[in-house]
Structure formats: C-alpha cells, structure tokens
Structure 1
C-alpha cells in the first residue's frame, strides 16, 4: 500500500506578536480571510502586555538578536475542508490546542492568493497570566541607559549636547516601570518533542474529519526512508531552486513507495539513502561547497540505484499454509494430552502384564494369600486402564472427533501439510535472505582490500633477519 501525503504543520517564532496577529486577522490586509477565533483571555491588551514583558525581560538579560514575543503554527488543510463552516474549523483547531496546553491563542483561516493553499495561522503565548500580578509604579522619573540599567540622574543618559542618547529611555513618574503579570516562558514550547506532538495532534484532527480515505495524512518521520520537501514562501528568491529540489525529492519518495510494495526491506532503503544521499551530499559540500544542482544530481542518482535494486529484487510470494495454523496448534495440544494419557495407559498395561506373570508363577497350597493379593492388584490396574481409556475417548469427543482413530488420521494428514509448509517457508527464506546482503557487498570488498593492503605493508616492513631465516630454511 502506498503511503499517503505528509501533513504540513510548521512552527514559527514571532518577534512582533501584536503586528502578526493584526496581519493574519485584518480583512484589509488579507484577500481571502474566512474566519478568526481567539481564546477568552486573548484580548488585544493581553498581547500588548505580553510583548512588553517579553521585551523587558529580553533587554534585562542582555541577550543579542531578536526577542521572541510569541510563536505560531501554520496548519495546511485538505481542500475538502472548505465544505465545513469556516468558523467551526478555526474554532476546532484553536480550542483543541488551548485545552491541551492552556495558553492563550489567536487564529485565522485563510486561502493564499492563488486559492491553492487552505490553511490556519495559530498564534500562541509561551506564558500564562499570573494569578497575582506584580506591578511597580514610578514615584519619580526613571532613567535607563543603553543596556537597560537604571541610572540615578538624567544627566547620566545624555550626550555632550544634552540630548538623550540612542538606546536610553525615560519612564515618567506615575507610569509602570516594572511589571510581572506573566509566568516565565515554558521551555517545553521550544522543544522538538512539543512540535512533533502538536503535528501529530493536528494531523489526527484532520484525518478524523476528511471524507475520503486518500486525503488522510501522516506526520513526516525524520530519519525515515522518505525525503522531506520544502515549502516555497511568498516572494522567495530561491523559489525555482526549491521547486527543482522538491521535484527530485518527490521522485525519490515515489520510488521508495514502489520499493516498499515490491518487498525491498526498509533497512536496505535506509542504507541507500544514507550512503548515496546523506554521505555523498556531505562529501560534496566539503569539496565544492553548497551546489543545489549537485544535490539534485545526487538524489536522482540514488533514485536510479534504488530502481535497479527493485528490478533485481524479485521477491517470490511467501508460502501460505494449507491448514489453519491456529487449528493446528489446538490439534497439537490435544495430541500432547493424548500422548500423556497413552503413556499412563501403557504403564498400566505393563503393570497388568507383570502382575499376571507373577500370578502364573505363584503356585502351591500355601500361596493362596499371595495369589489373592496379586489378583486384587490386577483388578485395580485393569480399572485404571479402563478409566484412562475412557478419558482418552472423552478428550477426542469434546474436541469434535468421533473416536481416537479419526483424530489420529486427521492429525497425521495435518502434520504432513504443516511439514510441507515449513519446508516451503525455509526455501522462501533462503531465496530472499541473500538479496538483503547485496548492499553490504561493497563494504565487504572494501574491508578485504584494506586487509590485503595491510598484509602487504606488514610484509614489506618485516625485519631483514626474517629474510635471512627464510634463506637458511631453504638451505636446510
């Protein structure tokens, strides 16, 4: 069975969370905006306060780069989702995220300009509101230098002309100069595990609402047999390069599907991917630098190699047992039980035979008591023999056979069929297993070459006395 398309769910960092929310939810800025949705606490004031506190903490930390004020998931939806009410769709995804992670969210449902990509933008906070916010009001003007450090006087943040230096700031008396109304950022939201968890959750939601089986999606497995394709962003200067790269990757992925259906083991496909794509790409980058055309050539070369492998890999059909193996297991269990009963009955019969022989040898006028004891033992053993035989008959009847003979005949025929199946299965494994070893042949040859080279080096470096010894040996 061919694997379906992978879901596209990407996480972005936001350095201007207020501006991003306005961009995704403003009808004046979006040509195809269908619906927006916000969790209860996700007011404009919430996002402004969140951005402000993130910026203050970022500045106080002295970290370089951009402050991350929030995060966003872009969720591509199957086109069939246009049949559902837009408000319901955006609410479903947003509330599912909120119920799981309990952070405020703002979301919007769009089409792109070409009407080919139906998707949701879901912006979320990495922080939660504190139950008891801490807000400090300035009792006098507060002065801060370029590093965000508090200065006692205004003079300390002015240049020689008496102007406020760039990067310095003043917080007037009566305004908030420090506030903590949010918890610290949850580090979980930075992890790959979180992103993967969200992808799986949203993919599951999508799959539970598609109406056609072929529209079901799967989460791309990093390190698996497939190659991931890249999304081409708006006005991307490398759009044509990415498009060509994606085409090569899709060729590889289609060939992988054929290989899997034809029975090529995943381990072999992964080996081809590692040796002929990953390793060769790294080697190319070290030697020539980044060459997009070279990557495409490498991928297509690996694809051609995999195709040759498929043509050679003619996996014979796996043998099918001519008998229900579960039924056979039940028959074998029954036979084991009968064999134990048979052993017990055989022991009783031997005992009877031995006692009767003793009885025949016990003669004479004074042996009456001994004969009577032996006759009692024989009677007990015969009763035991009959009881065991009755148990055997009941055992086979309970299993649906009229008598032991019928079961024995059925068992022998079934045993022959199972033996034939096991022989066919063994032959099938012998046919298929050597093909799995073909990939390791080059490495084996390389290993042999290395050993041969080492032996040659060792022989060339042997001390001269060895040569003398050999000549002496020849002289003998």
Structure 2
C-alpha cells in the first residue's frame, strides 16, 4: 500500500510560480495542465495582495500543494484528470480559483502534481450599503445618536454608500483569507484527502502514521558520499520496517499499543547509537534491520497461533466436503434452472411473434364469399348440363315413338306433339343459359381465389402448430425446473440430515437401537401369532349357530334324564 505524500508551501510570487509549473522550456515532462477553474487571473490576486498589505512585509499571494500520484496514471490521462479534479474540488471547494500541472521528474520515476490555489474565495462585486441608520447634529456640527432630540437622520440602513468624490463604493471581489490553510491540521488533511481520493479510484493508499512508523532520514546540501550511502541504507530499512509494522497493525496481528512502544524503543536505541558517532551509525541501521526481522517473526508466530486455533477438525472437514459437493450439485441445478428460464423467455418471445404474425394474416372473408358464388354458378351449370342430357334423352325416346306411328296415326297422337314441342323449348332455354355462362372463367377465378385462401390457411395452421409446439416445450421446461427445485429441496434436506447424523452420532445410534428393538418385537409377535395358528389348526371349528344348537340339544337331553329319574323313584 503506497504512502500518501502531500505537502504545501506559501507563495509570495504566485504569477511567477504559475508560469514556472506550466513552462515547457523549464519543465521537462509536463503531462497535464489545467486552468479550467480560474475565473480571475493570478495578476489580479497579486495586485489585490499588494494593495491590501498591512505592513512592510509582502502578503502571501497564494499557496501550492504538491502531491505524489501513481505512475501508471500516465497511461490513462482521463482518469488522471478525474483524480486531480476530484482531489482539488473536495479539498478547496468550487468557489476558489486554482490551477494545477502534472509533471514527471527527470528519470520519469515520480509522477506528481503541483496545485496552486488562493486562500481567498471569489465574491460577487456589489455596491456597499449602510448597515444602520446614521444621525447628524447640525448645530454642534458632529455625528450624533438617535437619542439626541436635535439629531437628524442623514443615512438610512440599506442605503448605497458613496465616497468623497460621489462615486459608488463596491465590495471587494475577494473574501478574507481562510485561516484553516495555515493550520497544522490542514497539513494532515491534505494527506488524508489524497489517500481517500486514491482509494476511491482503486489505488490503495494510506497516510503516514507517526505513532508507529519510522520517519525518513533527510539529506542536506553538500553531504558526503558516505553520508548519502548511509541515509539511503537507513531509509530503505525504515521503509521495510514501516511496511511490516503497518501490515501487522492493519491485519490486527499486533495491538497498536505494542507497535507504538516498539517504535519508541527503536527510535531511542537509534538515537543513542547515532549520538555516539554524531552521524547516522552503522549500528543504528542494524537495529532497524533487526527490528524488521523481529516484526516478521512476531507476525509468523501470530499467524501460526491463529492457524492452529482455526484448524478444522476431521468432522468439520467431512461436513465441509459434504457441503461443497451439495453446493456444486445445487449450483449445477440452479444454472440449469436459469438456462431453462432464459430459453423459456426466448420461446415465449418467438411464440408471441408467431401469434402476432398469425393475427396479422388476412381473413379473406370477401374472397370466401366470392368462391361460394363461383361454386354455386359451377354447380348450377353442371345441373343444367345434366338436365340437357335428360331432355335430349326424352326427345330421343319421343322421336322413336313417332317413327313407330303410321301417317294417319300421327294426327291422332296430339299429346305426343305437344310434349315434343315442350321438350324442344325446354332444351333451347337450357342451352341458352349454358351458353351464357363462361364456365372456364368461373373455374379459373374460383381456383385462384381458393389457392390464395388455402395459402393463408396453411400459413396460419403452420404458425399455430409451431406456436403450440413452443408452448408445449415451455411446459416441459417448466416441469423440468419444478423437478430441479424439488431436487434442490431434497439435497438441502439430505445435507441437514447428514450433518445432524455426523454431529450427533450417539443420538443416531440410540434411534437405530430403538428401531432394531421395535423390529424384534414385531418379529416376535408375528412368530407367536404363527405358533397359535398352528396349534389351533387340528381343532374342529364350529360356528356360533352350531354351538348354540349343540347347547340346546345337551340341555334337552339333561331335562329328559332328570324326568326319567323322577318317574323311576315314584314307581318304587
């Protein structure tokens, strides 16, 4: 996790600094430059600060924040701009002028941004107004109060102010300076805001925690090579220590109090060693390296303890295996259900499209009426042809009868002549009607119309058939889903039962014993019943009626024997 680096400085020449960070000749690698949020120029701010200075010392004209950015953002300029804008607006608000430029260093190892901003907010320039009523005593020639009976009100509350030359006085276009920017809390805030912004955009970042992290040793101008080497070694060891200790605290492997005490102890030991040489000592560097190893050992030991504490038992492993297998089956079934549902939706859409297509087909009711008319004409035509054949047959028979008659008999058979004329007339009428009908045209028209109607009917039937097949398939898929859901319920129920059996083996064994004893009792009862049946097999079986008859017969015989004994006794 990268450390959120941010620091700010005061600017007494804001115009020069703005020109410097945006000058391609003085900056080697300018990645991005933006003045989109600038309403007023830095010259306006510089002039305002010069006009409003309270003493000989020059006013601070603005401030600059420098922030470190992830190097990979150079590949995505849109995201880079979004992050810098997000950071600037969250930190400074949208009513303050700011400008920023993103640079690489010479070696292209450090992408960073310079943000120049004003401590003053923009204000709307408006005429100044009196905040209260003003009174003047002309007799005494001085300002007075409301209580003075001789005082006259000269300026009302809300009236526009004018200067000595009679010009309207206006409010400043810039607000007073915000004092938060020079506080120590704000220096921490710029780091916290940077970490928050980077984390929001998926770049893990954190703020330096001075309670537990070791500060970096600083270089000074003109330092010797030996000193530079030792600073480099010390800072490398400190960075490694900071990484390990922050990880230990974040993962809750080491309490914060122990980390704080450890840092204080290291700093004390390093300070003592450095004071001996009055410089960065080799022993001081070794102490930091040893501390890194101590933290690593501490983390390993803690992880071993946690691992042992949370080591699963054979029972837990078996339950986990059961759950995993069941979850895999349920997952496959759920996937199948989802696929079936998706297919059902597609089928329903296709079926709906077929229905719409079927509904849009023409009904051809008028055409069917026309076909009926043509069919009636054709039937009439055929009927008339049959009648013509019949009339011709009648005429033929009649003419044959004429030929049989003698000359003088013809005059006598007047009815035959009348019938002949009548048939001739009827034949003529029928033939005229038949000739007036263009039967080929009617047949052709009927055929074309019928073909047209049949094509639509066939199309409608085909669509209806496909629609029915689609709905049948949907029904089958729905039944399949219901089966899958029942199977899932069975799997869940079976899993719970198996887990219960694994967790309560004694109770399960007791239940098995109870079932076994119950089976034995049932088997014993069946055996006894079988034995009793076999014992009663050889004995005669009597019905209730037979027993009652036998009893009556026995009673009758006993009564007769008693009577005989009585008679025998009297005769003696």
TM range (shorter): 0.3 to 0.5
Larger Rg: 2
Higher relative contact order (CA 8 A, sep 6+): 1
Q: Taking structure 2 as the reference length, what is the TM-score of the superposition?
A: 0.41
Scaled by the length of structure 1, the TM-score of the pair is 0.48
